[in-house]
Structures are given as C-alpha cells and as structure tokens.
Amino acid sequence: MGLWTAWLEWLVLGAGHELMLFASVGILLIGLDDLLFDALWLATRRRDAPPVPDTPPIDGRVAVFVPAWDEADVLPAMLHRTLAAWRGEDFRLYVGCYPNDAATLFAVSPLAARDRRLRLVIGDREGPTTKGDNLNRLWAALGEDERAEGIRFAAVVLHDAEDHVHPDELALYRRCLGECAMVQIPVVPMIKRAERWVGGHYADEFAEAHGKEMVVRSRLGLPLPSAGVGCALTRSALALLAIERGGEPFCCDSLTEDYEIGMLIGAYGLGTRFVDTAGPAGGRIVSRGAFPSEIETAVRQKSRWIAGIALAGWDHLGWPDSRQGGAALPAHRLWLARWMLWRDRRAPLSALILLAAYAGAILTGLGVAGQWLLGWNAIVLEDGVRLFLAFNLLLLCWRVGMRGHFAARWYGLGEALISVPRAFVSNVIAILAARRAVTLYWRMLRSGEVVWDKTDHCRSEPIHEDAFARKAAR
C-alpha cells in the first residue's frame, strides 16, 4: 500500500508540475501576444477614418445572397423581415436551395411567387454540398439574370437564413463601396436569457473581435476576413476571383469560404473596410443573428471554423507574400499581415494550452488533497515560479477585463459581469471544438470531400438592443 501511494504521489505531483509548466509558458506567450495587440489598439484609437466616406454612392442593383439548407423554420421569417426593412431599395434577394430540401422549398416558394425582388435558385445537385458551392450557384444565377435583362449588378451582399438585417444597411454599403472592394459591418449575436451561458459566449467573443480585432486591421489597411454575414463586395471584386477560379468566386472545398474570400481580396491589394457607425435614426448599423445555445451545436460550429481557418485555411491561403499574382506588401505591413494570420490560426494551440492548464490545476488540487489525507510531500514553489505565475495571473485578469469591457460596450454592465464566469464555458467549448476540428480536417484529407456541416437554427428574437444603440438613441 505504501509503494502504491508513493507511486501515485510521484505520478500526480510530477504530471501536475509538467502540465502547469507547459500551460504557464503557453499562457505567457499567448498573453503577451494579446497584450501587444491591445497596445496596438490603444495606440491607433485616434487614427480612425471618417465612419462613412464622402465619395458618391455606387449606382445599380444590389444582389443579396442567402444560401439555405434545411432552413424551413427560420428562412421565411428572415425573408419577410428583409423585404420589409429594405422596401424602396433596388435589390434582388437570391435564395439558394436544393432539390431534395422539400421543406425549405415549400416554405420559400409562396414568397418568391408574390415578390419579384425574391429569386429562388434551385441547384442541380442534391444537398448538402458546401456553402461555397451554394453561393457559386447564386453567382451563376446572377450572371444569367444580367444577360437576360441587359443589366449589371453593382454589389453582392452576404447574409444567412437566420439574420436580422438593418434598414440602413444597403445604403451604407452603397456609400462605402465607392472607395473599397469589401465592407464588413459588426455582427451582433442575440442573447436570450434562457440560453445565456452557451449562446452568450458568442456575444463576448464577437464584441471583442468586432470591437477591437477588426477595427485595428481596418485602421492599418490590412486584409479583413469576411464574417459571411453583414458583408458586401463589389461585383468587380467577385468577378476578379471568378476569373482566377474558372468562373466560381467562392471556394467549393472550404468550410470557411467567407473568411477566405475577404483575405484573398486583401491579398490582391483591393481595399477592405470594417465600418461600425450609427444610422440616421441613431441605432448602430449591424447584422444580428442567433447562435447555437447548446454545447453540442456550438462545438460543431466552432470546429468548422477552426478546421476551415486554422487548418485547411493554411493550405488554401498560405502566408502573405506566398501567393503568386498577389499584391506585394511593404515589409512592415507584410509582417503585420502575417501576425494577424497567426492570431487567426492559433486556436488549436490555445485549446491545447487551456487543456493542459485545466488538467494541471486538477492534478495540483489532487496533490493538495493527498498532502492533507495521505501525508504526501507539500507542493513547493520557488520564488521565480511564484513571480512567473503572478505575472500570468495579471495577464489573465487583463484578458478577462478586456472582454468584459467590450461586452459592456455592446450589451451593458450585466452581460459584462456574466462574461467573467462565462469565459470558462468558452474555454471548454474551444477545447472540445479543437479536438473535433482535427478529426474533421483529417477526414477531409483522407476522403478529399468537404460537406456543409451547417448549424441548425431555430426561431429567435433579440431580448434587447445593444448598449451602443441605447447611447446613440439618447
């Protein structure tokens, strides 16, 4: 019994020490990376360009692409909202469906028959294929309409089947696309009280990503990833990508074709811009949408993002200055662009560090319990290690504080306070999603097939306006 206890003590204390050491070094590196980015955000806060340019708005009809697979529950409501919100605007809404998705077809067909602004596009292949393939079918339908009607669309707007669009969204795109090739507006996840812990962690992450990350990239003129919703691109920019890809601008073998298209446009030297501004009525012009409210669906969605951006995206995009035919960047901007890509692709490493930290904390707790109950040796921390851990604790407090700051700006103080314990939920989902992403990527490599692993949506309504909107309304 004594030998067994001694072996268990060696295993628990030794493994706990090594895991905590690995996690501490990782947290330090990731924390310093984030701290440097925060310093860049603070240093560039006074360098914002005017929210809306003074250039004349672009003329012509706007196409709105909404790919759909198994969206009968939410798509009709979204179409009703969009058609009503953009009454008077010159646009055509293309909905991409599949011949074997009868429920969605039956839900959308009556609306398409009544409103000429709505165009139902049924693909020639059974679904689901990929979202990129669906979008390419909508692009082909747009070209067919242009040839049949003798017109040329000015821009393409991307949205999903569950989105809540803003009434002033198209007008903003028209003004901004006069000087750049792509415009992205903030994406604001809706929080429902019953789904606050899982669904709410998306609010924390988007508040920081679209309140800081995208803002800094836009200020520095770096390529911007498209969020796939609340995004507008000039028709000329999509035509350029279509020429390179044999007529199809969207990547069919990608899980994150929206992310890649924004980065490719920037790689060609075309302007991309993130715009966070208020409309004439005072509210922020944003794209709202519901996000998964259960652990399983959240893990599925995030694993798709990680596999598409951090793993397969590396294969598709490489690193800045590695693409032939792309625009050459100055040396300082080249390294900044590489840094941003590293930040996009570090999710698997971050998840591994988090897993090691939690496992190390559990083993350390077992070591303390063994000391009390079994007389194990006490855990001794040298002064250098204590200082190291104290610095990491400060970095973690700063990180949580920054997330709470942006959550407060978007959703108010209540959600900011909840974002602190909700960070644990976010970390658990990130760990599970990274594991699934590696498996998903491995299957893609072995089979050569990519399938639209879409998120299931249900009807939802926002429970409140965001904090920025309330301030603007005053």
Higher local confidence (pLDDT), 467 or 304: 304
In the DSSP assignment, the letter for residue 58 is: P
Residue 121 clears pLDDT 80, i.e. is over it: yes
Average pLDDT estimate for 447-453:
78
Identify whether the C-beta of residue 177 lies closer than 8 Å to the C-beta of residue 169.
no
Segment among 64-68, 129-133, 222-226, 455-459 with least mean pLDDT: 455-459
Strands 272-274 and 187-189: unpaired
- Cis peptide bond N-terminal to 348, omega within 30: no
Q: Which two tokens stand for residue 354?
A: 């988090």
Q: Domain-by-domain residue ranges, the chain?
A: 1-474
> Would you call 166 helix, strand, or coil by DSSP?
coil
The C-alpha atoms of residue 25 and residue 17 are separated, in whole angstroms, by: 12
Residue 385 clears pLDDT 90, i.e. is over it: no
CATH class for the domain made up of 1-474: alpha beta
The owner of tokens 């209540």 is: 414
324 φψ region: left (φ > 0), alpha (ψ -120 to 50), beta (else): beta
Residue 177 clears pLDDT 90, i.e. is over it: yes
Kindly report the CA angle at 442 between 438 and 444, in degrees rounded to 5?
A: 120
The C-alpha atoms of residue 223 and residue 242 are separated, in whole angstroms, by: 19
Cβ neighbours around 233 below 10 Å, total: 27
Q: What is the pTM of this model?
A: 0.91
In the DSSP assignment, the letter for residue 184 is: E
Provide the pLDDT confidence category of residue 149 given band limits of 50, 70 and 90: very high
The C-alpha atoms of residue 165 and residue 147 are separated, in whole angstroms, by: 29
Higher local confidence (pLDDT), 278 or 9: 278
Q: Which of 152, 164, 165, 178 is nearest to 62 (CA)?
A: 152
Average pLDDT estimate for 215-235:
94
On the 0-12 / 13-18 / 19+ scale of CB atoms within 10 A, 124 is: exposed
Q: Which of 362, 391, 364 is nearest to 379 (CA)?
A: 364
Residue 194 clears pLDDT 90, i.e. is over it: no
Q: What is the mean pLDDT of the chain?
A: 89
Provide the pLDDT confidence category of residue 230 given band limits of 50, 70 and 90: very high
Provide the pLDDT confidence category of residue 448 given band limits of 50, 70 and 90: confident
**pLDDT, tens digit, 9 for 90 and up, residues 410-423:** 999 999 999 999 99
The C-alpha atoms of residue 467 and residue 470 are separated, in whole angstroms, by: 5
The C-alpha atoms of residue 172 and residue 450 are separated, in whole angstroms, by: 35
**pLDDT, tens digit, 9 for 90 and up, residues 262-299:** 999 988 889 999 999 998 888 899 999 999 999 999 99
Identify whether the C-beta of residue 223 lies closer than 8 Å to the C-beta of residue 337.
yes
